[in-house]
Amino acid sequence: MRARVYRRIGLTAVLLGAALATGCDDAATTTSPTATSPVTELFSAQFIPGGSASRSFVAASAGTVSLTLSQLGPPTGLVVGFGIGIPQSNGSGCYLTQSVNTGAASSPQITAQVDAGSYCVRLYDLGTMTSATGFTVTIVRP
């Protein structure tokens, strides 16, 4: 009788272990749709005089990031600071690596080589804004 109970215990343990091990493996190897590199993201928002706006993005692999300030204003002809860097740990902006003073354009104002990891884009008022303004940044990343 006791031997039968132990055999049932053993069989149950083996089957359960196999089932759960499969569950663990599935969690570790879950596949998701493979994003085609490069990936394009849009960042649209508003910022106020004296202010700034930033957004983080992830480079899935090493490669080239290009940033285009594709829309800015009104007013037309506005020039702002536009840069790339790494995100601040408190989420409040970027540690900027490079920046340019620019208005809207149709080709990238910033191109940078990056390692895989998280980066950010930041726009900031150069002291010339008189009212809140909208913008769109096109981010192309690996």
List interacting residues with another protein (CB under 8 A). Answer: 5, 8-9, 12-13, 16-17, 20-21, 23-24, 27-28, 52, 62, 65, 81, 83-86, 89-90, 94-99, 112-115, 117, 119, 124
Q: Which is nearer to another protein, 6 or 76 (CB)?
A: 6
Residue 15: strand, helix, or coil:
helix
Select 9 or 106, whichever has its Cβ closest to another protein: 9
Minimum CB distance to another protein, residue 41 (Å)? 17
Are the beta carbons of 135 and 53 closer than 8 angstroms? yes
CB of 114 to another protein, least distance (A): 4
